[in-house]
Chain A
Amino acid sequence: MRVTLKIWRQASRGGSGKFVSYPVDNVNPDMSMLECLDVLNEQLIERGEEPVAFEHDCREGICGSCGFMINGVAHGPLPATTVCQLTMRHFKDGETLTLEPWRARAFPLIKDLVVDRRSFDRIIASGGYISTSTGGACDGNDILVPKETADRAMDAAACIGCGACVAACPNASAALFTGAKITHLGVLPQGKPEQDRRAIAMVAQMNAEGFGGCTNIGECTGVCPKEIPLEVIAAMNRDYLRGSWRARDNVVTPIRPFTEWSTGSKLKNDPTGG
């Protein structure tokens, strides 16, 4: 089959971007969307043009690296499927597919279809964990976790951190992502002691990053490759409210969001190791 890929090309954050159309022949219906981009890129390189930059690693729908909009839908038309697992047989011969990066203030563009999602890491760093250090754990079976609870935790923990929920949301809210982690840890007995502060800190960080507020539109869960349910947002709101009430005196200072790739010059040849 044959498709036309209309792709957002932008050399760098500072520059301006535009759509460029590329016809791709010899598309095998069994290949994945990313393999189709591989084929295009091989042709571009042979012609001496820069290949399309896109993010990927596992190509099994689990690492959360890949993701872009296809015809305005995050990860494309197939439910519960990342672009690396989306095969071309789901498109029509001769179809034009418009590929665009995630667009959100908290995900600054790096190049072509690649964006910077470190804001997600900072949300986790602000409190998305159980504070336990290596060595002090009791026997695994000393903590009984009802099967239903473990299953609920697992449902929420399945989030791969891809960012599709943000890209799909008209407000660019990260509520589904943040709610998923708050739910995963909050329902487990091990996570209870920090339930309040976790919610408060993570919500504060989410706001500091410039993600929009959630207005219950529900686009996020519709595109989520792991089908994280909307109820995690309700759990987040509940934990946040209860936490704010119970821990009124806790002051949370969010981590400073930085959006430049600034690992550089100050560390150059620094004998102290920076």
Chain B
Amino acid sequence: MELNANIPSGPIEQKWDKARFEMKLVNPANKRRHTLIVVGSGLAGASAAATLGELGYHVKCFCFQDSPRRAHSIAAQGGINAAKNYQNDGDSVYRLFYDTVKGGDFRAREANVYRLAQISVHIIDQCVAQGVPFAREYGGTLTNRSFGGAQVSRTFYARGQTGQQLLLGAYQALERQVNAGTVEMFPRTEMLDLIVIDGKARGIVTRNLVTGEINTHLGDAVILGTGGYGNVFFLSTNAKGSNVTACWRAHKRGALFANPCFTQIHPTCIPVSGEYQSKLTLMSESLRNDGRIWVPLQKGDKRSPDQIPEAERDYYLERRYPSFGNLVPRDVASRNAKYVCDEGRGVGETGLGVYLDFGDAIRRLGRKTIEERYGNLFDMYQRITDEDPYKVPMRIYPAIHYTMGGLWVDYQLMSTIPGLFVIGEANFSDHGANRLGASALMQGLSDGYFIVPYTVGNYLATNKLGKIDADDPEIRNSVACVQQTIQKLLSINGKRTVDSFHRQLGKIVWDYCGMSRTAQGLETAIGQIRELRDEYWQNVKVVGSADDLNQSLEKAGRVADFFELAELMCIDARERNESCGGHFREEYQTEDGEAQRDDENYSYVAAWGYRGYGNYPELFKEPLDFEYVHPSQRSYK
């Protein structure tokens, strides 16, 4: 298979205009005859479903929560980027484009990123019109902050609840279409397989999570906005339900999975406190604007932080990166925290933590200012840890947060299965090997509001989609697969719970395919994952039945897919003999311990094809060309 990204020709500023002009349009009167299936109601899914509904298509939208408003996007705190240059500090579409390509360590597609930067400005307008209560200046204009190490202030926010407010905007637009009759919403409904007929995506198989009923939904295109796969690590900052199942089952039906090993570890999370821990809590990155990160100079220094004099503290980020200091990108900050903890200088009971200290900031700016800036985050920290961060430095440690990898899509956001579109975190498209802060919300909404509504239309207008026979063997086959998996999981009746397997799997992936990786470690991990997976299929215990609300059964299916994905992540990480962004291979580093890319050999997207359970997957390469932003070694010194 030749991977063709279908990037329009011409100068980068004109590509999207050109593509839109070349697209065929669907006759307005015909739109309602097309049924479109949107899986996911996060920023990407809800915005796509609402917009497609507004255009007049018949849309069916699915989510596994009890309401579309609860999608994981709701938890995003920090903000959303847009190249508005309202602050007059030198921002521009080109600069946002440049920063994103560079931040992604030159492993993203230039044309996609440029389009994202162009669209960013429309997103803000759209959200304001919907009533999203972005922060304002006294004069009534929108306010911005600098975020995630950006040197311009281009981040828009709504207190610490930006994701919530953007999602509620999209959710309300979606409910408006539900009321108008263009969108049918199916909450508590999980997609468990994709239906591919004559090589085209034509529907999905779902399980009603309340009644257990297995249904099929057919249509002319399927759009997946099902989020990222960070929960493969068990402990992550993702919502508990986030999973890879929809994407993975589509992968098994022929969609290539791109760059699975590109995962992002966020540096500022609350450290793990015990075995029972079910998830990790992110502390917004904005804290690094004023907090200073340090550990004791001496190994095993058990004194309480206020007893450690200034001279015996190591502000290691400020020391190693004098120009960016505490604001280095996420991957760099995370890795350095790991190093100092590996050296035995970590703090807290487990030794897996570093201090984020606001002492200086409070002395300089006063407690009131700090309260205004970070009050809700400080409260949250205190609620969880029972420590007062105004008095004692916070303890933080990196945690998995976002996955840059995902289903491969072309410029039209279509996967390698015609008619299957993938949007939001579920696709691999725009962030390369590392995502910059406040850019996931931007991408989700860009894909959903402004890109996929056009490209799906073009697909419908240029493809002849025949009528589907309800008895098509492909439909029966997909339904049978789903039923078999469910029956199998319920019948094993072994000794270990799903969570106990998931926890163990997560630990393997974290240890060997987390912040730093080696060929040998990945080899070990692959062996251990296979072994554990075999045990899973013989020894997992799922109680209850298939015919009602059964949360263990839901988890069991998701964990089964995580096992397969975990192996692919390790294979991908082992295959990529270079370090880039979040993918750090210890064998490939510069003299001072920074990631060393190998542009000559690895400037490509690794897209993997499924070749049957347990078989080695097939690798397809999409070469990346950099016409505008020339690859350079990222340096934050």
Contact = CB atoms under 8 A, between A and B. Distances in A.
B142 A45 contact: no
B336 interface: no
A50 B545 CA distance: 10
A268 B469 contact: no
Given A117-B66, A140-B128, A147 B213 contact: no
A57 B124 CA distance: 27
Interface string B426-462: 0000000000000000000000011001000000000
Interface residues of A, number: 91
A274 B183 CA distance: 12
B175 A121 contact: yes
B136 A147 contact: yes
B543 A49 contact: yes
B74 A269 contact: no
A46 B122 contact: no
Interface string A120-145: 11001111111111111111110111
Interface string B356-392: 0000000000000000000000001001111000000
A146 B138 contact: yes
B527 interface: no
Given A50-B544, A132-B130, A146-B138, A62 B164 contact: yes
Contacts of B74: 58, 62-64
B211 interface: yes
Interface stretch (A93-101, A168-176, A238-246, A259-267): A259-267
A263 B140 contact: no
Given A85-B383, A125-B179, A141 B66 contact: no
A92 interface: no
Contacts of A219: none
Interface stretch (B270-278, B518-526, B587-595): B270-278
B467 interface: yes
A103 interface: no
A158 B137 contact: no
Interface in A10-31: 11-12, 28, 30-31
B218 to A, nearest CB: 5
B137 A57 contact: no
A229 interface: no
A145 B130 contact: no
Contact of A263 (B137, B186, B239, B495): B186
Contact of B274 (A31, A114, A136): A31
Interface stretch (A1-9, A69-77, A183-191, A208-216): A183-191
Interface stretch (B165-173, B528-536, B606-614): B165-173
A103 B453 CA distance: 41
A129 B173 contact: yes
A270 B470 contact: yes
A114 B218 contact: no
B449 A134 contact: yes
B481 interface: no
Interface stretch (B248-256, B298-306, B416-424, B546-554): B546-554
A98 B276 CA distance: 22
A129 B551 contact: no
A35 B281 CA distance: 14
Contacts of B497: 42, 45-46
B135 A150 contact: yes
Contact of A57 (B65, B136, B161, B386): B65
A144 B450 contact: no
Nearest to A116: B66
A140 B54 contact: no
A117 B141 contact: no
A222 interface: no
B288 interface: no
A28 B274 contact: yes
A267 to B, nearest CB: 5
Contact of A138 (B70, B129, B142): B129
Top 3 closest pairs, chain A to chain B, by CB: A144-B140, A129-B172, A273-B35
Given A44-B543, A133-B54, A147-B138, 16 more contacts: A35-B276, A55-B66, A60-B75, A85-B383, A121-B178, A132-B130, A134-B51, A134-B54, A134-B126, A137-B125, A141-B142, A153-B131, A157-B168, A160-B164, A161-B69, A267-B215
27 contacts: A28-B273, A28-B276, A30-B274, A35-B276, A45-B541, A59-B278, A59-B279, A59-B281, A63-B74, A64-B69, A118-B187, A120-B67, A121-B175, A129-B130, A144-B140, A146-B138, A147-B138, A153-B131, A161-B69, A185-B131, A261-B210, A269-B216, A269-B475, A270-B470, A273-B58, A273-B218, A274-B60
